[in-house]
Amino acid sequence: MPKTQIEDLNTNIYDFKNEDNFEFKIQKGLTKDIVEEISRQKNEPEWVLEIRLKALEMYNKLDMPTWGPDLSELNMDEIATYVKPKSKLNSDWNDVPEEIKNTFDKLGIPQAERQYLAGVGAQYDSEVVYHSIKEELLKQGVIYTDFDSAIKQYPEIIKEYFSKCVPISDHKFIALHYAVFSGGSFVYVPKNVKLEMPLQSYFRLNSPESGQFEHTLIIVDEGASLHFIEGCSAPKYNKVNLHAGCVELFVKENGYLRYSTIENWSKNMMNLNTKKAIIEKNGKVDWVSGSFGSHISMLYPMSILKGDNSQTEFTGISFAGAGQNLDTGFKVVHMGKNTSSVVSSKSISKSGGISTYRSLVSILPNATGSKCSVSCDGLMLDSNSRSDTIPVNNVENDETEFSHEARVGKISEKAIFYLMTHGLTEADAKAMIVRGFANPVSKELPMEYAVEMNRLINLELEGGIG
Amino acid sequence: MEKLLEIENLCTNADDKQILKGLDLSINSGEIHVIMGPNGAGKSTLANVIFNNSAYTKTSGTIKFNGEDITNLKTNEIAKKGIFMSFQTPEEISGISTLNFIKTAKNKIEGKTIYLPDLKKEIENDMSELGMKSELLHRDLNVGFSGGEKKKNEILQMLVLKPKLAILDETDSGLDVDAIRTVSKGIEMFKNDENAVLIITHSTKILESLKVDLVHILVDGKIVYTGTSELAKEIETNGYSKFKEGA
Amino acid sequence: MELNFTPVRTARNYGINSITLNLEDIKSAKNNNFCKKNLQKLENFPNFEFLGENIELEDNCLLSNTNFLCNELKDEAEKFSNFKKTAKIYKSSDKLVKFRFNLDTNESNLIDTFNLTIEEDVNSKIIVEFISKEKLACYQNLNFKINAKNGSNAEIIFVFDLFDSSTNLVSIQSEVEKNAKLSVFIVDFACKNSIFNYNSKLIGENSESNLNSLYLSGEGSTIDLNYLIELYKPNCKTNMEVIGAISNQSKKHFKGTIDFKKGCKKSRGNENEYCMVLSKNAKAKALPMMLCEEENVEGTHSTSIGIVDEKELFYIMSRGLSRTQAIRLIVKAKFNSMILSIFDEELRNKIIEYIDRKII
């Protein structure tokens, strides 16, 4: 039987370019002058510039990673780290310049806001162009604003938390981030406030040969609860674009945060993103992550289970097609007693795509009574591709339950035959199995995003989406 | 009564080993046929080969359905012609609900989109006849189903998909008496003058409550004897040795 | 010195890409004559015994084996080796083949290069033992190569029983040809530094390479296990089972990789690791890797940590056993199926006896 092709991900609906119209685009490269100029453009307090300069020094000192995908295509001299769009920050879509508004219309953001979001932030290149939150949440003391405004409006909180979860010295690209960061969101959910509807920030990089370095800082206070969604996309250019964002999450006692990401960067993007959560007593963070786009990704969200009884779950999928090297995974450090983590990771490799699951589970001496279970599945759709599993597990006490299991292989011939005896073509059958494979992630997403993800895995069956 | 399935001189290999060695079989609409035979005779191979499973290679012979040559059609096209196969070990597919699967199969086979609430109602009716819990519809296809639930799920699909020919491959194996009764009931519900059933089995339990037209004995890749339902009873008492000698 | 590198690197701060040992200090501390300060070739190793039939044994080793731990150890083996042998098993035999190395006050250093070939269609069972009965810090740098020729079927057990304060650096490599089956069993009564590398290449169709590895830590062992099975040809099969217990201040790093190379269609690989952590100061690291560039394969791995279940312990103690006896019983139960798979009864008993002796 000849092999049928499963289509590469159809990212066309994201691949529309606006002209590289900007109010200001900094010269390419990374120097002290450039960093100072960004700071001047942003008109920010002195202490922020100090952090930027310290970070730049760190960046120059730190080595490139000695592991993972080859990053030699990335040349910082060819990247403009700051592109200010022709728009101010608005709280009404009607005030957003038409071209930019159209972009977000096509991405479905204003519509999603009307239907099921409690607040929306939209970043275009280096600056946030729209931010809004429902009135009643404001009354409850919820803060959801762009990061630049937060620095000015809530300097004490920002100083207390900024770079305290992800330190400047973590790795070379986080140092880069702190040197040139711009945009992003700040969220504060006060004690015992539980948001029923999610907040969403969307990041769009339009400008070629540029980078996006947004900083997201979320504090979920005691007993509070939040679902935060992050979306990202970019049109495809021939030269390398860079994304080196940073996400810092603080979840206090009994707090809950669900952090969902659908990442669909264009295939010329280097996605070197850093996300970390610090979770206090009885708190919980659930990560849901879908990685579809980018040329190269190095993305390993991390949970620090600091407080006793804190918990985390990670559910992720990555789909590596032609020209993609997706090196993704999860890191968790168990520090508190009776902490628990559950990791479920799936990957699909096709048309020469490389997917790597890379992880760390570390259970420290004091984290007695902890539990961790990890499961990863790699699906190979042809023999031109690669699927690697590189999980490091470190257990430092004798009162821990730990298990890890992984599988790699192809779609079962028997399952394809079974489905074909029920009238499905071979392509339909494979598509159904692949969709089923991705289901643990899509079912964790809000309905609309699950639909979106299924569209992303453009493997539709007649009669709609599973 | 018209000819539904006609198989002539079918020979097949699997992993370079010849399994079917010139098999002939003809089934008319309105009939129930049974194929019995010792282990390794090629019973399950036959069902797979009718569906053109790529794990088997046909070296000669033809398979016709409704007068049309289906020997080399793709598996899904054969299903669309109106043939159904109940699997000995149904596949578990995670992430896809049973309802979604049946819906997709029904739409593919009918070539049109059936209004889901109507279809769901029909499925639930059939389920209650088969004593199946309707919650199974929302579970992943066959994942975590008991042996009996899986087999009933196959019969359910037969009832919903309404094929012209249903091939039941060892559907009764590993089932207790009550479950076998349910399966028989399902077959009775399905059966009419327009369609036909081919039961592949090594036991006679399932045949007790069904009106079987013909029983074929398959030994070493060939049908060596064909008789009425009395033949099944004889095999229950005497086994296959008599037919093996004849082969 | 950095040695025992994983086939693929990961983040440095995970501390598992390699292990660092100060070999010069280790050798100087033994006051031996082959440390850098006093370079001298060792006398030929005196205490080697050999049992068995249908073997051709030569006093040289023309082939130079790769040392998969690091190049420095290869250099050491080339310059200072005190034992070199080539062995060929040319005919099947029911009799066990045994090679035994006794390290004692006469010679507590062993730098050995050993090349073992199992000829075509030969079946053989082999035990290779390294023992020090005296309370003496030994040093070994082992370079062992196995060639399993077409259609051969061999089971080889390596037993390492060196005194607690020893340093044992082991590199074993194997190549398995068409239709051949090789099962290697590594039993390590771990000493201070127990550094193991096993590298097996399945270079023929329908070949099979299995590895069983069992270890028990000593007082304060560093156990670094780096096992790699590479599948190159269609229909290959591999199974890796690693089980062990660590106590006291011991630490264990397990790095196990199954690498499905392009072209190994219809191959299957499985890897299981289980480590019992018996003390709160013991540390267990594991990196069970699976690398895959071929679609039509089935690969699975699992790793887990075992702790002594208090309820189980209580139940056994309520039947009159002391806590220690109960822990011994539980460890033996966990190890049971692997111990039973050893063809040599004497060795089976030795392991059980060792568990009784070591868990106190």
Specify the length of chain C in residues: 360
Mean pLDDT of chain A: 91
Question: Would you call C182 an interface residue with chain A, using a CB distance cutoff of 8 Å?
Answer: no
Same domain, C300 and C327: no
3-state helix, strand, coil in chain A (%, to 5): 25, 35, 40
Best C2, C285, C294 member to test A by mutation, with max A CBs in 10 Å, is: C294
At A383, list the tokens: 């023999």
At residue A66, φ and ψ (nearest 5 deg) are -95, 10
Q: Which of C14, C304, C307 sits opposite A392 (nearest CB)?
A: C14
CATH number at residue B241: 3.40.50.300
Cα–Cα distance, C291 to A464 (Å, whole number): 36
In the stretch 92-151 of chain A, residues with CB closer than 8 A to chain C read none
Q: What are the tens digits of pLDDT across the range B34-66?
A: 999 888 888 889 999 999 998 899 999 999 999
**Measured between beta carbons, which residues in chain A are less than 8 angstroms from residue B49?**
none
Domain that holds residue C214: 2-307
The predicted pLDDT at position B247 comes to: 44
Same domain, C358 and C295: no
Which regions of A106-224 does DSSP assign to beta strands (E)? 119-124, 127-133, 143-146, 185-189, 199-204, 211-212, 215-220
Residue with tokens 């810092």: A248
At A412, list the tokens: 């079962």
Q: Could you tell me whether strands C297-306 and C55-58 are parallel, antiparallel, or unpaired per DSSP bridges?
A: unpaired
Q: Chain B residue with minimal CA distance to A435?
A: B95
In the predicted model, is pLDDT for residue A355 greater than 80? yes
A214, A220, A225, A231: CA torsion to nearest 10: 0
Same domain, C225 and C354: no
Domain that holds residue B177: 3-246
ipTM: 0.89
Same domain, C211 and C333: no
| Cα distance from N-terminal residue to C-terminal residue, chain B | 31
DSSP string, A300-357: --EEEE-STT-EEEEEEEEEE-TT-EEEEEEEEEE-STT-EEEEEEEEEE-TT-EEEE
Q: Which of A67, A393, A402 sits opposite C9 (nearest CB)?
A: A67
Determine the distance in angstroms separating the CA of A403 from the nearest CA of chain B, rounded to an integer. 22
C-alpha separations of B42 from A401, B61, B245 in Å: 48, 15, 17
Cα–Cα distance, A338 to C284 (Å, whole number): 19
In the predicted model, is pLDDT for residue A463 greater than 70? no
Question: Minimal CA–CA distance to A422: which of C79, B88, B90?
Answer: B90
Q: Do B96 and A425 touch (CB under 8 A)?
A: no
Cα–Cα distance, A403 to A64 (Å, whole number): 32
Domain count, chain C: 2
Q: Do A412 and B91 touch (CB under 8 A)?
A: yes
Q: Chain C residue with minimal CA distance to A403?
A: C304
DSSP string, C289-304: EEEE--SSEEEEEEEE
Determine the distance in angstroms separating the CA of A230 from the nearest CA of chain C, rounded to an integer. 26
Q: Do C285 and A395 touch (CB under 8 A)?
A: yes
Same domain, C190 and C314: no
Q: Do A380 and C297 touch (CB under 8 A)?
A: yes
Q: Which of A358, A383, A400 sits opposite C10 (nearest CB)?
A: A358
Question: Would you call A426 an interface residue with chain B, using a CB distance cutoff of 8 Å?
Answer: yes
Which three-class secondary structure state does DSSP give residue C73? helix
Per run of 10 residues, the mean pLDDT along chain C (length 360 residues) is 94 92 83 55 84 90 79 89 93 94 90 95 97 91 96 97 94 97 96 97 98 93 97 98 94 97 96 93 94 95 87 84 89 91 92 86
Q: What are the tens digits of pLDDT across the range A327-345?
A: 999 999 999 999 999 999 9
**Measured between beta carbons, which residues in chain B are less than 8 angstroms from residue A427?**
none
The predicted pLDDT at position A464 comes to: 27
Q: Chain A residue with minimal CA distance to B102?
A: A422
Q: Do B104 and A424 touch (CB under 8 A)?
A: yes
Cα–Cα distance, A426 to C130 (Å, whole number): 57
Examine the fold and report which residue of A271, A299, A327 is the final residue of a domain before the chain moves on: A299
Q: Which of C289, C307, C308 sits opposite A389 (nearest CB)?
A: C289
Least confidently predicted of A12-21, B104-113, B233-242: A12-21
Which pTM was predicted? Answer: 0.88
Q: What are the tens digits of pLDDT across the range A135-191?
A: 999 999 999 999 999 999 999 999 999 999 999 999 999 999 999 999 999 999 999
In the predicted model, is pLDDT for residue A119 greater than 60? yes
The answer, yes or no, to whether B and C have at least 3 beta-carbon pairs within 8 Å is no
Which regions of A221-268 does DSSP assign to beta strands (E)? 225-233, 241-243, 246-251, 256-264
The burial class, CB within 10 Å (0-12 / 13-18 / 19+), for A376 is buried
Domain that holds residue A27: 14-299
Helix axes A109-116, A447-456, angle to 10 degrees: 150
Is residue A241 domain-resident?
yes
Same domain, C300 and C197: yes
Q: What are the tens digits of pLDDT across the range A38-91?
A: 999 999 999 999 999 999 999 999 999 999 999 999 999 999 999 999 999 999
Q: Do A422 and B53 touch (CB under 8 A)?
A: no
Cα–Cα distance, A131 to A145 (Å, whole number): 6
At residue C78, φ and ψ (nearest 5 deg) are -70, -35
- What mean pLDDT is predicted for residues B152-178? 91
Q: Chain B residue with minimal CA distance to A464?
A: B104
Examine the fold and report which residue of C271, C290, C307 is the final residue of a domain before the chain moves on: C307
DSSP secondary structure letter of residue C38: G
Q: What are the tens digits of pLDDT across the range A445-457?
A: 777 777 777 766 6
**Measured between beta carbons, which residues in chain C are less than 8 angstroms from residue A405?**
300-303
Least confidently predicted of B81-90, B232-241, C187-196, C328-337: B232-241
Examine the fold and report which residue of A273, A299, A325 is the final residue of a domain before the chain moves on: A299
**Measured between beta carbons, which residues in chain A are less than 8 angstroms from residue C9?**
66-67
Examine the fold and report which residue of A254, A270, A299 is the final residue of a domain before the chain moves on: A299
Cα–Cα distance, A420 to A430 (Å, whole number): 10
Local confidence band at A460 (pLDDT 50, 70, 90 cut-offs): very low
Question: Would you call A407 an interface residue with chain C, using a CB distance cutoff of 8 Å?
Answer: yes
**Measured between beta carbons, which residues in chain B are less than 8 angstroms from residue A433?**
93, 96
In the predicted model, is pLDDT for residue B155 greater than 80? yes
Which three-class secondary structure state does DSSP give residue C19? strand
Question: Would you call A432 an interface residue with chain B, using a CB distance cutoff of 8 Å?
Answer: yes
Domain count, chain B: 1
Q: Could you tell me whether strands A119-124 and A199-204 are parallel, antiparallel, or unpaired per DSSP bridges?
A: parallel
Determine the distance in angstroms separating the CA of C233 from the nearest CA of chain A, rounded to an integer. 14
Residue with tokens 């275009």: A124
Q: Which of A66, A390, A409 sits opposite C298 (nearest CB)?
A: A409
Question: Minimal CA–CA distance to B41: which of B62, B25, B23?
Answer: B23
Same domain, C284 and C319: no
Q: Do A406 and C290 touch (CB under 8 A)?
A: yes
The answer to whether the CB of A9 falls within 8 A of the CB of A230 is no
Residues with Cβ within 8 Å of residue A209, at least 6 apart in sequence:
A28, A78, A79, A80, A237, A239, A240, A241
Same domain, A161 and A290: yes
Residues with Cβ within 8 Å of residue A447, at least 6 apart in sequence:
none
At residue B27, φ and ψ (nearest 5 deg) are -125, 130
Q: Which of C17, C280, C304 sits opposite A403 (nearest CB)?
A: C304
The predicted pLDDT at position C59 comes to: 85
Least confidently predicted of A356-370, B160-174, C254-268: B160-174
The answer to whether the CB of A226 falls within 8 A of the CB of A258 is yes
Local confidence band at A466 (pLDDT 50, 70, 90 cut-offs): very low
Question: Would you call A45 an interface residue with chain B, using a CB distance cutoff of 8 Å?
Answer: no
Amino acid, single-letter form, for residue A217: L
Q: Taking phi first (over 0 means left), then psi (-120 to 50 degrees means alpha), and beta for anything else, what does residue B233 get?
A: alpha
Q: Do C293 and A65 touch (CB under 8 A)?
A: no
In the predicted model, is pLDDT for residue A354 greater than 50? yes
**Measured between beta carbons, which residues in chain A are less than 8 angstroms from residue C301?**
389, 404-406
C-alpha separations of C288 from A376, C269, C272 in Å: 12, 12, 8
> Up-side HSE of residue A304: CA atoms within 13 Å toward CB?
14
* A127: β partners: A124
Question: Would you call A425 an interface residue with chain B, using a CB distance cutoff of 8 Å?
Answer: yes
Q: Could you tell me whether strands A119-124 and A127-133 are parallel, antiparallel, or unpaired per DSSP bridges?
A: antiparallel
- The better pLDDT of the pair B157, A10 is held by B157
List residues of B whose CB lies inside 8 A of any A CB: 48, 51, 53-55, 74-76, 78-80, 84-85, 87, 90-91, 93-97, 100-101, 103-105, 107-109, 113, 140, 157, 161
Cα–Cα distance, A242 to A81 (Å, whole number): 9
* C258: β partners: C229, C290
**Measured between beta carbons, which residues in chain B are less than 8 angstroms from residue A429?**
76
**Measured between beta carbons, which residues in chain C are less than 8 angstroms from residue A401?**
305, 307
Neighbours of B (≥3 Cβ pairs closer than 8 A)? Answer: A
Same domain, C51 and C192: yes
Which three-class secondary structure state does DSSP give residue C201? strand
Best A70, A341, A358, A390 member to test C by mutation, with max C CBs in 10 Å, is: A390
Q: Do A398 and C278 touch (CB under 8 A)?
A: yes
Q: Do C8 and A67 touch (CB under 8 A)?
A: yes
Neighbours of A (≥3 Cβ pairs closer than 8 A)? Answer: B, C
Domain count, chain A: 2
Amino acid, single-letter form, for residue A162: F
The answer to whether the CB of B155 falls within 8 A of the CB of B127 is no
Cα–Cα distance, B50 to B35 (Å, whole number): 14
Q: Do C289 and A394 touch (CB under 8 A)?
A: no
Q: Do C295 and A380 touch (CB under 8 A)?
A: yes
The answer to whether the CB of C26 falls within 8 A of the CB of C139 is yes
Question: Would you call A440 an interface residue with chain B, using a CB distance cutoff of 8 Å?
Answer: yes
Q: What are the tens digits of pLDDT across the range B103-132?
A: 999 999 998 888 999 999 999 999 999 999
Q: Do C294 and A383 touch (CB under 8 A)?
A: yes
Is residue A188 domain-resident?
yes
Is residue A316 domain-resident?
no
At C170, list the tokens: 């082991």
